[in-house]
C-alpha cells in the first residue's frame, strides 16, 4: 500500500508526520521542518518530502546546527514519484 512506509524500513524510523514540500524552494523545506518539528514527540521521526536539490544538504546541516538527529533519506512514503523524503528524529 502506497500510504505505508516500505516494509524494509526499520519501524523506529517510520515517520509520524510527513511534510509535503514538493515544489518548494530553499529555504522553505527547512522553514517547514523547523516550524513543525514540535508537532512530533521527542524520539519520533518527521519526514520532509522535498524535490529541491538544496534540501539534500540543508536538512542534515540544519539537524547538526539545531542538535536534532538526521536519520537519512528514503523514498517518499505516499507517492512513487522518486522524490526523496528526509527523515529527522526529534531529540529535544
Partner 1 sequence: MVSPPRTTAVHLDAAAEPLHPAARDVLLAALDEGWADPLALHTAGRRARLLLDNAREVIAVLLDSRPDELSFTASGTAAVHSALLGTAEGRRRVGTTVVHSAVEHSSVLHAAGWLSRHGGTAVSLPVDRLGRVDTELYAAAVRAGGVAVACLQLANSEVGTVQPVESVAQLCAEHGVPLLVDAAGAVGRVDVPGGWSLLSASARRWGGPAGVGVRLVRKGVRWREPGPADDRGFVNVAAAAAAAAALQAVSAERAEVAARQWQLVTRIREQVAATVPDVEVVGDPELRLPHVVTFSCLYVEGEALVGELDRRGFAVASGSACTASTLEPSHVLAAMGVTTHGNVRVSLPRDVTEADVEAFLAVLPGVVAGLRDRVGM
Which residues does the annotation mark as catalytic?
26
Give me the least distance between CB of 81 and partner 1, in Å please.
Answer: 18
Closer residue to partner 1 in complex, CB, 4/25 = 25
Rounded to the nearest angstrom, the gap between the alpha carbon of residue 63 and the centroid of all alpha carbons in its chain is 11
Contacts for 53 with CB less than 8 Å, ≥ 6 apart: none
Q: Is 27 in the site for partner 1 (CB under 8 A)?
A: yes
Per-residue mark of binding to partner 1, 50-69 (x: CB under 8 A) = --xxx-xxx-xxx-xx----
**Cβ atoms within 10 A of the Cβ of 55, count?**
26
- The rounded distance, in Å, linking the Cα atoms of 70 and 25 is 20
Query: Which residues contribute to the site for partner 1 (CB under 8 A)?
Result: 25-28, 30-31, 34-35, 52-54, 56-58, 60-62, 64-65
Amino acid at each position: 500500500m502506497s500510504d505505508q512506509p516500505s516494509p524494509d524500513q526499520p519501524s523506529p524510523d517510520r515517520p509520524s508526520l510527513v511534510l509535503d514540500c514538493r515544489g518548494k524552494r530553499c529555504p522553505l523545506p527547512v522553514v517547514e521542518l523547523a516550524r513543525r518539528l514540535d508537532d512530533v514527540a521527542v524520539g519520533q521521526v518527521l519526514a520532509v518530502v522535498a524535490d529541491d536539490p538544496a534540501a539534500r544538504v540543508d536538512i542534515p546541516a540544519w539537524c547538526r546546527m539545531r542538535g536534532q538527529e538526521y536519520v537519512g533519506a528514503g523514498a517518499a512514503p505516499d507517492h512513487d514519484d522518486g522524490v526523496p523524503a528526509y527523515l529527522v528524529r526529534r531529540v529535544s
